[in-house]
Structures are given as structure tokens and as C-alpha cells.
A and B are shown apart, each in its own frame.
Chain A
């Protein structure tokens, strides 16, 4: 019985995490490792919150007790504990960041994304000539893709939450973001930096193809 309840709650919780722009409903390695980081930090934070709440509550419970001195409060709880936790967390997060950033590899595909008020323009090499698309980005599934991001007018931000984190599109600068879809499918993208009147609808879609679909796309035909 208890088991069933637990299972239902977990399912509900996970189901509640899905959605076209959900960072927790991951479909690519970068998004997946960041989601893991999130769940770990959530657990740690829950423990710390409980600790603080319990210590606070105990201050109000009247009973004779030995009161700990300054060294416990300030030395151990105030300095040593947070320092240790933060060091661990930082190491973990930095390592994760290093893995996620774009590194040279033979498998990568490079595409150019240029943000405009209010549409996205993509350009990438095809089998015969460059292929340009608007508001839809085609990528191969299972291969790292480097998106070279820029903007023509104001600052925007390229974000496909289910695949990876975001990267700003800044006029005059080019930023590179590595994304990867683990499996074929369609993933929603959203401009994440406020860019004026139609920021809300500054959306795009990423289509990750299987091998056959990718080959067709590169020939410039509609797959």
C-alpha cells in the first residue's frame, strides 16, 4: 500500500516535470547533467533548511540544557560547514561546466544562428550549398552541434531547455553553444533575454533527425 502511494507520488512528481520547455524533462546530455546537479542541490538544500529550522525551533523549547559556545556557532556551523559544502559543490559544478562547453571534435556539426526582432535565422553547410532556415533548426540526433550565436539588432538568447542551457545572442559578438539531442524528435526553443515588444513569441523549434532524415535534409530536400 505504502509502496503504491510512493510510486504514485513519484510518477506524479516526474509527470509534473514534463513540458515543452521543461529543464527537467531532458533530452540531451547537457540538460541531463544540469538536471542531476539540480536534484542534488535540492536534496542538500532540503537538509540544510531542516537543520536551520530545527535549531530555531529548539531555541524556543524551554528546558535546562548546556548551551554551546561561540566556537560551535561561528567556527563550525558558521564557517567550517558552509565552506566544506561549497567547496564540494563548486568542484562538482566546475567539472560539469567543463564537460558541457564546446570542445573540438570530429563529429560536431556547426550551425549559425542569428536572432532578429522577432525571428531566428539559421544557416548551415549542406551537401551542395549552405542551407538557410527560419525559426526551425535542423540537427542530427546523437551528434554534438555547435551553434554560433549572434544577433542583428538587440540582445536575445538562444535556449532549448530540454537540450542544454542558454547562450546570449549579442550584436557584434559571436558566442558558441554546444547542444546535442540524444534521440530524434522536436524540441521547443525560446528567446530567453528580453528583446522588446514580441519577446514572448520569439520562439523557434529544433528538429533532431535520425541518420536517414539528416541525410535527406542535407541534400536540401524536405525530409
Chain B
């Protein structure tokens, strides 16, 4: 088969049909990645317009441009849009688009999940922006402190929009995190050992792992607050044993890692682009990876530095202050590794390099003010002033936007296949750079002169007039810069001349694809022997197009890509990916209607979309797989490998593992809340504890154990024994999980005080609900397994579904036992 025919055959398999049907059904990672990037940029523009309105209002003292009611919506939406609808999705888009190409593979591990995440993001973002248009946008600040955001003080739906909209969008973040983790760990080109991965993949892997652990506290907090608002369960109400501080802990347990989640991918872009601009290799690859691990670990121990003024004892503050300072060390390590790389090479002042220099100056200043704020006494003064506003923009704009702009100019030829229009980009850079510093450098001083954040106006006597005016002027200069950037990109897409392949002379694999990239990335997948495969073999792209790699054969209309051993990169199996489907968009639409039902208070109606999502989830899993064994398939002349359903450690199994890790983080946060309320909240101990329920609890616990054991039994029997015994075991597991659910609910209803009476009862009910939902999930998994055994999809060698059902059974069992232990502990002790 020649290169052109192979291109046609592969495009037929991997491409998306034209028209709106194709758009709705595409699951291709390049499509989804591009959409994420474009939408994120659009949200950035909206957030930017809000910022301009903020600056217009603050430009002069006593301004009557907008009142406080609107101003509160402006800054809340500005912050929330920038954090949730711009920064995170922008990096997700970049990861979705680039990762498979950099890893030498053809798509991400779970294409339908990417598409689902995309639609959730789009619909959720639309709900948030829609609220702005209707004047009911969230207005309690981007961290939504209770009690201000609780029903008493925010009676309208403003806060519900935030809680539900952001949670909806966070579904896409969790989806992306799992997707990125598994794709990096498993779906790489053969031979790419972990230590041969491009550094960006390391950055993204660590970022994704952080997201898996960091988003659950926020999701949990949002659920609890929404339940408090909707049903009056008083998790955060101090009069009924709740604590406003619990919200702060949950929020910042997410919020601090969040800033590193935003920074790390951008730092990964620096580590990728900078060595190419200096025509050398990165200095200290291993050290940088170690620094990233340290950073990820430390960033979970810093959240209290956002709460230095909440009255936590000084010794505890000292601990968090030290940890916050410590986190500067791995950051400094990276900075000097980058500078050392520049010294080693011959850096050229091309446009991406210009943005990187801007990054260095701005980010270093932001890091230094960060260390200042980590010093407890200084934070007592600077906290909640414009000094913090300056700091956070130095870090976010310097640490995210500048590297991303460098990356944009670096990879744009890859997206468009075209070269850049000269000069315009440089002009945009200077406007953004100068405008940024004028806006925010002065703001440090404004803050030290006492200007609090989130005030909508000030009087002349305060002495902030000139500083504010200059800040506003600077922000408009910056806005012009961004507009110019957008024009520059548009010109490049529509007018510019074609670019040659690999215009920067880079060594990473994404430049071995044709540009713009084809739907399948690589006509055949490379064997990787080097950290910079293209530097070692500049003709690699052509050889791959000629079919001199893995999986060169387009067969049976299947989307095939290689999966490897996690550490060694040895060939493991062939993943057969699902093709285009409209399941993701339909599921996302139903998910969205669930959130809308909650938003408008139709709580019973909300059960309908839930049932729909369950049904679609079932179908989602059902449409894959085969009724017969495929056996080993050829991957290269003379070499074969099994397909993923017939190999242990398939992506689906790993994805389930990481989903459950995230789920465990959610349970952990809930248990943290339970302990926190016992120890810290006012009006404890509660007037009434759990009355008893030990016998029923014991029974539910035993049923949970039986459920897990029977699922395991069904899994192992489906391997060797007759199908009928596996089927019976699965039916037993279904029954056991039903008993668990009934037992948990019985304990709650008969023994616990009503959930609205006290935070104690509310959080116990939350724990019971958590366990019951997981029993339900395990029940569905067992039922699915049973149906698949019946239909012949599970066999002695096709093990994937049995192993996943077993995971969920085990997890539900463990979760039920932990929950019962915590809920029944007071009854046991009394």
C-alpha cells in the first residue's frame, strides 16, 4: 500500500464526517482539543471584558459607572470564568490536542470521554455565562465563602448557578484528568520508556494526578453547600452545629493545588519550547521531574496559607508558612534549570522566546511576592488587599498566559500548517507586557496603601486615585495587545503562506506528523529510542508515512493504537478505540438537564435525567466489545500483540482505578468534614446522637462484604467455570448490594435525628448516602457483568469487564464498611 492510499484508508477510519452531524459525533482528540482551546479563548475574552469593566469602574474615585450589586457579579464572574472556564480548559485542550502526537500515538485512551467532557464544559459554561446575561450571576466572590453564599444571605439563584455550573464543568476536569493520566501511562509509542517521555508529558501526568486528588474536595463542598441551600441540611450554619470554616478548608484544599494545576502545564510548555529556542536540550531532566513530584506533594500541604487570618493557632500557621516557603525551592530549581539551559545553548530572540522572557520577569516577581505572603505577619496586613490581586495576576498571567502565548506561537504552525505574519506578534507582545506591568505592578502599592479587594469604589482621601487610574490605563493597553494577538492568529489561519514541516527544528514527535495534522496523526507508529526522536532521525516523519512503523495496516475499520508497559515502554497490547458516536453529546445534554432541574428547584423531575444517564451509561459500555476472541493481531511484520480486551491492565481498567482514587478523595474529604465538625464547629456535641442500629448496621456490613466477594466470584467463575455459575454469583451480588442499600437507609431513617436539625445528622446522612450510591453503582456493575456473561461478551480471555466490575464491587464494600464504622461509632461507644 503506498502512502497516499494508506492516508485515504486511515482517514476513512479516523476522520469525522463533515457538517453538524460530524461535529456532534466526533470523538477525535484533535477536534476536541481544538474546540477546548477555541472555547477557552472565547471565555477568556468574556472574562477580559469583565476585567475591563472592573477597571473602568475603579479608574476614578466615587465612580457611578456600576453599583455594588453589579460590581460584585463582575469580579465574581471574572475570577470564576478565568479559573474554571479559561485556565483549566485551555490546558486540557492543549493536552488533548498535543499529547497523543507527542507520545507517538493516534488518540487518547478514552475518546468518548473527551467528547463528553467537552460537551459538559460547553453546556456548563453556557449556563454560567447565561446567568450573567440575565443579571443573576454569582456574586459572592470566586471562593463563595459561607454564610454569605448560604440561603439566608444569598436568597436568589446566584449562588446555585455557581455551585451547579462549576460542578458541571468540573465533570469535564475529572474526565480530562483520568484521560490524561491513563493516556500517558499506557497509550504511548513502543519503546518510549518513562524516562524517554517528553518533559511536557511528565508535567501533564503530574498535573492530572493532582487534579484527581484536588477536585473532589471542591466538588464535595459544592454538593454540601447546594444541599444546605436546597434542603436546609446545616453543614455550614454555626447556629445548628455547622462551621463556615469547613467550607474554607474544603475550598482551599482544592484551591491551592488548583494554582499549581494551572501553572504546571504552562511550565511544561516552557520546558518544551525553551530548549528548542536555545537549540539545545533541557538541563537536568531528572531533577526537574523530581522537583515536579515534590511540588505536587507539597502543594497539598499549603492550603491553610489562604486562611492565615481566620484565627488558627500561630504554631499551626508556622507549619503551613514553612511548607509554603518550601514550595519555592522546586520552583527555583526549575527557573535555574531553564536559565542554565539557555546558557548551554545559543538562544535566539524569536517570538516564543520573547514571551518566555516576559514569563521569566513576571513570574519571578509573582513568586517573590508569593513568598512574602507566605510569611504570616505580612499576610495579616496584605491579605484581601489589592496586593494579593497583584500577586495572583503576576503568578497567573506570568505563569500561565505568557508561557501559553509562547506555546501558541510555537505550535500554531502545527494547528494551521502556516507560517506567521511578521511583526504583528512582536507588537502584541510589547503591548501586553507593558500594559500588564503598568496595571499590576502599581497595584502592589495600592494594596499596601490599604485598598481592600472587592470594593466597588473609594474616596479621594484614601490616596489611591492616581495608582488606580494608571492601573486602568495599563489594563486597556493590555487589552489592545490581546486583541492584536487574536488578529495575528486570524491572519495566520486565513492569509499566511504555508509553513514547512517542523519549522523550529524540534526533536519531539508531534513534529513528525504532517501539518496540519491528519485525523490519525501517524500513518504508522514509531519505535522510540531517544528522548528527542526527531533530532536523532530527522526523516522519521517520512518513514512513518511510508508505513515503516507499528500498525501500518488499516484493517476492519478499527481505530487501533499501541499500548505499552507503563515503565519500560515495551509493547503490551493493541487498543481498539471506539469511533464517532453521538452518545457523548446526548449524555452531556441529559447531565445538563439534571443540573438545570436542580437549579430551578424541580427536585423530583431531576430523577428522570438521572435514570437517562444511567441507561446511556449502560449503553455506552454495551456497544463495545466482541462476542468472540480476536487473538493476537499483527502489529509489524513478524510481530503480534493481543487486543486490549484480551490483555490485563487495559486502559479501561486503569481508568476505573483512577476514577476510584478520585472517588476515595471525595470520601476522604467527607470524613475530614465529619471529624472537623466534631472538633472545631460551635454547638457541639449535638443534642441528639444516633440512637442505635448496630444489628442492622452489622447486617449491612456483612452484605457489603458478600457483595464484594460475590462479584469477585462471578469474575473468576466467568474465567474458568460454567457461565451459569458466574451468572448466579453475579445475581447474588446484585441481591447483596440491594440489602446494603436497604440496611443503610433503614439505619438512617430509624436511628438518626432528621438531617435538618443539626450538622451532625446532616453529615451522617451524607455519609450514608455516599455508601448507598456506591452500593447502587456496584449493583449496576454486577448486573452489567451478568448481562455480558449471558450475551457471550465475557470469556476466559476477554476479562476487561469482569475485572472492572470487581474493582467497583471491592470499592463499594470498603466504602460501606468505613461509613458504617464512622456513623455507628457513637452508638457503639454509648
Residue pair B455, A41 in contact (C-beta under 8 Å): no
Residues in B whose Cβ lies below 8 Å from that of A176:
311
Q: Which of B278, B284, B334 has the most CB of A within 10 A?
A: B284
Residues in B whose Cβ lies below 8 Å from that of A53:
361
Partner of A37, one of B365, B377, B463: B377
Residue pair A73, B336 in contact (C-beta under 8 Å): yes
Residues in B whose Cβ lies below 8 Å from that of A86:
325-326, 328-329, 371
Q: Which residue of B lies closest to A48 (CB)?
A: B368
Partner of A18, one of B333, B344, B463: B463
- Knowing A59-B343, A70-B287 are in contact, say whether A37-B329 is a contact too (CB < 8 A): no
- Knowing A34-B380, A41-B375, A79-B329 are in contact, say whether A21-B321 is a contact too (CB < 8 A): no
CA distance A179 to B49 in the complex (A): 41
Residues in A whose Cβ lies below 8 Å from that of B337:
73-74, 78
Residue pair B381, A165 in contact (C-beta under 8 Å): yes
**Closest CB of chain A to B348's CB: distance in Å?**
9
Residues in B whose Cβ lies below 8 Å from that of A166:
309, 380-381, 383-384
Say if the beta carbon of A170 comes within 8 Å of chain B: yes
Q: Which residue of A lies closest to B380 (CB)?
A: A165
The 8 A CB mask of A145-165 against B (1 = contact, 0 = none) is 000000001110101010011
Residues in A whose Cβ lies below 8 Å from that of B310:
168, 170, 175
Residue pair B383, A154 in contact (C-beta under 8 Å): no
Say if the beta carbon of A55 comes within 8 Å of chain B: yes
CA distance A19 to B446 in the complex (A): 11
Say if the beta carbon of A89 comes within 8 Å of chain B: yes
Residue pair B284, A171 in contact (C-beta under 8 Å): no
CA distance A149 to B69 in the complex (A): 27
CA distance A131 to B287 in the complex (A): 63
Q: Which residue of B lies closest to A101 (CB)?
A: B314
Say if the beta carbon of A132 comes within 8 Å of chain B: no
Residues in B whose Cβ lies below 8 Å from that of A159:
452
Number of A residues near B (Cβ < 8 Å) is: 78
Residue pair A194, B141 in contact (C-beta under 8 Å): yes
Partner of B332, one of A78, A161, A168, A192: A78
Partner of A49, one of B311, B357, B364, B463: B364
Q: Which of A25-83 contact B (CB under 8 A)?
A: 30-31, 33-34, 37-38, 41, 45, 48-49, 52-53, 55-56, 58-60, 62, 67-68, 70, 72-74, 77-79, 81-83
Residue pair A194, B148 in contact (C-beta under 8 Å): yes
Residues in A whose Cβ lies below 8 Å from that of B696:
none
Residues in B whose Cβ lies below 8 Å from that of A81:
332
Q: Which residue of B lies closest to A93 (CB)?
A: B375
Residues in A whose Cβ lies below 8 Å from that of B361:
49, 53
Residue pair A94, B318 in contact (C-beta under 8 Å): yes
**Listed stretches B236-244, B257-265, B519-527, B572-580; interface member:** B236-244
Residues in A whose Cβ lies below 8 Å from that of B325:
86, 89-90
Residues in A whose Cβ lies below 8 Å from that of B349:
60
Partner of A19, one of B287, B360, B449: B449
Residue pair B336, A78 in contact (C-beta under 8 Å): yes
Residue pair A74, B287 in contact (C-beta under 8 Å): yes
Residue pair A168, B311 in contact (C-beta under 8 Å): yes
Q: Which residue of B lies closest to A65 (CB)?
A: B343
Residues in B whose Cβ lies below 8 Å from that of A200:
68, 455-458
CA distance A72 to B369 in the complex (A): 25
**Closest CB of chain A to B619's CB: distance in Å?**
46
Residues in A whose Cβ lies below 8 Å from that of B731:
none
Residue pair A96, B377 in contact (C-beta under 8 Å): yes
Residue pair A172, B244 in contact (C-beta under 8 Å): yes
Q: Which residue of B lies closest to A15 (CB)?
A: B463
Residue pair A34, B147 in contact (C-beta under 8 Å): no
Residue pair A22, B145 in contact (C-beta under 8 Å): no
Residue pair A20, B461 in contact (C-beta under 8 Å): yes
**Closest CB of chain B to A30's CB: distance in Å?**
8
Residues in B whose Cβ lies below 8 Å from that of A181:
none
The 8 A CB mask of B352-388 against A (1 = contact, 0 = none) is 0000010011001100110110011111111111000
Residue pair A89, B371 in contact (C-beta under 8 Å): yes
- Knowing A52-B364, A60-B349 are in contact, say whether A192-B452 is a contact too (CB < 8 A): yes
**Closest CB of chain B to A92's CB: distance in Å?**
8
Residues in B whose Cβ lies below 8 Å from that of A23:
381-382, 448-450
CA distance A18 to B372 in the complex (A): 21
B interface residue count range (under 10 / 10 to 19 / 20 to 34 / 35 or more): 35 or more
Residue pair B450, A22 in contact (C-beta under 8 Å): yes
**Closest CB of chain A to B623's CB: distance in Å?**
49
**Secondary structure of the B side of the interface?**
helix
Residue pair B448, A38 in contact (C-beta under 8 Å): yes
**Closest CB of chain A to B668's CB: distance in Å?**
25
Say if the beta carbon of B135 comes within 8 Å of chain A: no
Residues in B whose Cβ lies below 8 Å from that of A171:
147, 238, 244
The 8 A CB mask of A75-109 against B (1 = contact, 0 = none) is 00111011100100110011011101100000000
Residue pair A90, B321 in contact (C-beta under 8 Å): yes
Say if the beta carbon of A212 comes within 8 Å of chain B: no
Residue pair A33, B451 in contact (C-beta under 8 Å): no
Q: Which of A186-223 contact B (CB under 8 A)?
A: 190-200
Partner of A93, one of B69, B369, B378: B378
Say if the beta carbon of B293 comes within 8 Å of chain A: no
Partner of A172, one of B72, B462, B682: B682
CA distance A83 to B284 in the complex (A): 19
- Knowing A19-B449, A82-B329 are in contact, say whether A198-B377 is a contact too (CB < 8 A): no
Say if the beta carbon of B624 comes within 8 Å of chain A: no
Residue pair B682, A173 in contact (C-beta under 8 Å): yes
Q: Which of B283-342 contact A (CB under 8 A)?
A: 283-284, 287, 309-311, 314, 317-318, 321-322, 325-326, 328-329, 332-337, 339-340, 342
Residues in A whose Cβ lies below 8 Å from that of B346:
62
Binding site for B on A (CB under 8 A): 16-24, 30-31, 33-34, 37-38, 41, 45, 48-49, 52-53, 55-56, 58-60, 62, 67-68, 70, 72-74, 77-79, 81-83, 86, 89-90, 93-94, 96-98, 100-101, 117, 153-155, 157, 159, 161, 164-168, 170-173, 175-176, 190-200
Binding site for A on B (CB under 8 A): 68-69, 72, 140-141, 145, 147-148, 152-153, 238-239, 243-245, 278, 283-284, 287, 309-311, 314, 317-318, 321-322, 325-326, 328-329, 332-337, 339-340, 342-344, 346-347, 349, 357, 360-361, 364-365, 368-369, 371-372, 375-385, 445, 448-458, 461-464, 681-683
A19-B462, A60-B342 given; name 19 further pairs at CB < 8 Å. Answer: A21-B450, A22-B463, A48-B368, A52-B364, A59-B342, A78-B337, A79-B329, A86-B325, A90-B325, A98-B314, A165-B380, A168-B310, A170-B310, A175-B311, A194-B453, A196-B140, A197-B72, A199-B68, A199-B455
For this complex, 19 residue pairs linking A to B, each with C-beta atoms less than 8 Å apart, are A23-B450, A34-B380, A49-B365, A55-B339, A58-B343, A59-B339, A59-B342, A59-B343, A73-B337, A78-B333, A83-B329, A153-B152, A155-B147, A161-B450, A165-B383, A170-B245, A170-B310, A172-B681, A173-B311
Please give me the 6 A-B residue pairs with the lowest Cβ-Cβ distance, nearest first: A165-B380, A172-B238, A21-B450, A73-B340, A175-B311, A78-B333
